[in-house]
Amino acid sequence: MTAADQRPIRVLHCVGTMDRGGVETWLVEVLRRASSCQLEMGFLCLGGRPGVLAPEIAALGGRIHLVRPTKNIAAVGREFGRVLRAEGYDIVHSHVHSFSGFLLWRAARAGIRGRIAHSHSTSDGKKRTLLRRAYLSIMRRLIRGYATTWIAASTEAGFALFGRDWERDPRARIVRYGIDVSRFLNAGPRDAVRAELGLPRDSIVVGSAARFAREKNYPFWIQVAAKIALLEPRSRFLLVGDGELRPSIERMVAHLGLEDRFVMTGLRDDVPDLLRAMDVFLMPSLYEGLPVACLEAQAAGVPAVISDAVTPEAAVVPGMVQRLPLDLTPEDWARAVLQAGRLAHPGAGSRETAFGRTGFSIQASVEGLAALYHDIIRDERYG
């Protein structure tokens, strides 16, 4: 065995910023366990700032490389190339949807033999103008030509980036997100969390933990909340997270006269405790790949009512997830949410077993990802 075989595999993850989102949180959990799998991880942040998770990444031994935000794609390529030349990464793992095509083409030019395109969503959320369609066509051709591995969070996410025939390509595979289920099984006492948030002990709390972004469909969320407020006087609403749409959502809540029913926490690192304060998790998303927040809600024992735009693969624990079409009325959704809160749900042991059986535990997720990286390097060194 050579010294090269013994050293850790160095993986560069290409992201926007490392703010607290589902994918970013998952990557930090992978980093937390990286050394036990002989991995080292760096993060190329294309949004020009490291994000709120940067201190935790540094404490865990991860590197962050910043790329200045610019529309000059050649400048992005030069900065990316400089990082690749200086840092000696073995694999580039890109999480930036269609722009992965450009990055992986540039990585190929730099001699990186392990090049992964990872699709996390069923859409990039951009309007399909003629120019946008041309851009997507070019980027998808680059992905097909220069990605050595295609990864998707779900079958639908794979369709969105790689095309309808993607699963027949030998490069294709699904990698499950994994969560540390124990953090959600052992969260803080429900009554104490509610007291800290100012939520009455006997209230019916409907909540969400997600970015305030277009795909999360928060205007519809608020319409559903308004109907719930009419149907259930004890109802309260808990929104965890932040984002560019938060001010407009706060105005909508105020316009409907619901300020005294809502608690908006902003970004928090105690999501397991906050989930324990909820009776129902509501996610009427316009599009998703496979939302980590929905997995976390199930692990915490909180039933979820989600849109049918979310893949059925998100339902891990039997009986805990209900999918509804978005063309139902807000009142239809409200009644379904209140009904979900009345049902009995599986205990902690059953939930833990379900995550282990389906491969959505963090242990299974990290082991699968590490095995993929090691296979890539084995093919490179001995193939």
Q: What is the mean pLDDT of residues 247-262?
A: 98
Q: What is the mean pLDDT of residues 23-33?
A: 96
Cα–Cα–Cα angle for 371, 89, 86, rounded to 5 degrees: 170
Q: What is the mean pLDDT of residues 148-155?
A: 95
Give the pLDDT of residue 90. Answer: 97
CB of 240 closer than 8 Å to CB of 268: yes
Q: What is the mean pLDDT of residues 293-306?
A: 96
Q: Binning pLDDT at 50, 70 and 90, where does residue 199 land?
A: very high
Q: What is the mean pLDDT of residues 229-257?
A: 97
Percent of the chain with pLDDT over 90: 88
Q: What is the mean pLDDT of residues 165-185?
A: 93
Give the pLDDT of residue 125. Answer: 76
What architecture (CATH level 2) is domain 181-358?
A: 3-Layer(aba) Sandwich (3.40)
Over 70: is that where the pLDDT of 4 sits? no
Give the pLDDT of residue 289. Answer: 86
Average pLDDT value over all residues in the chain: 94
Over 60: is that where the pLDDT of 17 sits? yes
Over 90: is that where the pLDDT of 193 sits? yes
Tens digit of each residue's pLDDT (9 = 90 or more) over 43-89: 999 999 999 999 999 999 999 999 998 889 999 999 999 999 999 99
Q: Binning pLDDT at 50, 70 and 90, where does residue 341 land?
A: very high
Over 70: is that where the pLDDT of 112 sits? yes
23: phi then psi, degrees, rounded to nearest 5: -65, -45
Tens digit of each residue's pLDDT (9 = 90 or more) over 303-333: 999 999 999 999 999 999 999 999 999 999 9
Distance CA 195, CA 201 (A): 7
Element (H, E) at 80: helix 73-87
Alpha helical stretches, state H, 127-189? 130-146, 155-162, 181-185
Give the pLDDT of residue 246. Answer: 97
Q: Binning pLDDT at 50, 70 and 90, where does residue 1 land?
A: very low
Q: Binning pLDDT at 50, 70 and 90, where does residue 380 land?
A: low
Percent of the chain with pLDDT over 70: 98
What architecture (CATH level 2) is domain 3-178+361-382?
A: 3-Layer(aba) Sandwich (3.40)
**Of 275 and 125, the one with more pLDDT:** 275
Residue intervals in the chain for CATH 3.40.50.2000: 3-178+361-382, 181-358
Element (H, E) at 35: none
DSSP structure string for 245-268: THHHHHHHHHHTT-GGGEEEEES-
Give the pLDDT of residue 3. Answer: 47
Over 90: is that where the pLDDT of 382 sits? no
Q: What is the mean pLDDT of residues 346-352?
A: 93
Over 90: is that where the pLDDT of 381 sits? no
Over 90: is that where the pLDDT of 275 sits? yes
Strands (E), the chain: 9-15, 39-45, 63-66, 91-94, 114-119, 149-152, 172-174, 204-209, 235-240, 262-266, 280-283, 304-307, 321-324
Give the pLDDT of residue 383. Answer: 39
Q: Binning pLDDT at 50, 70 and 90, where does residue 272 land?
A: very high
